[in-house]
Structure 1
């Protein structure tokens, strides 16, 4: 017996603690990664490196690097 599309949709709507835990763990790892790359971006900005190079080397978005640059300029 094959489940119908509606039944599958209902199952997907059920709470899934494993999925939720995975999302939380992924966010924690992403946060740790960002905390490691931000000092690298700061150093590169202080050295006068181009934004695009910093984006490529750190994995941060251009918007994130620009935000860091603005904070450095105002400190």
Structure 2
């Protein structure tokens, strides 16, 4: 699956969006669910920040990237 999944909500600052990234990653570590391999903070057209991720099921190694 290579489609982006958008995390609910937009944030006024990049810092708030980055905190949401940390929450998503921590939640998945606690639950040991399928982790996203790519996490990205993006800027919407209205200037707010959001979080999106996508999972890759290929390969046994899982890596997490945060792009700014």
Q: TM-score range by the shorter chain?
A: 0.3 to 0.5
Q: Report which structure shows greater RCO (CA 8 Å, sep ≥6).
A: 2
The structure where strand makes up a greater share of residues is: 2
**TM-score for both structures, normalised by structure 2:** 0.33
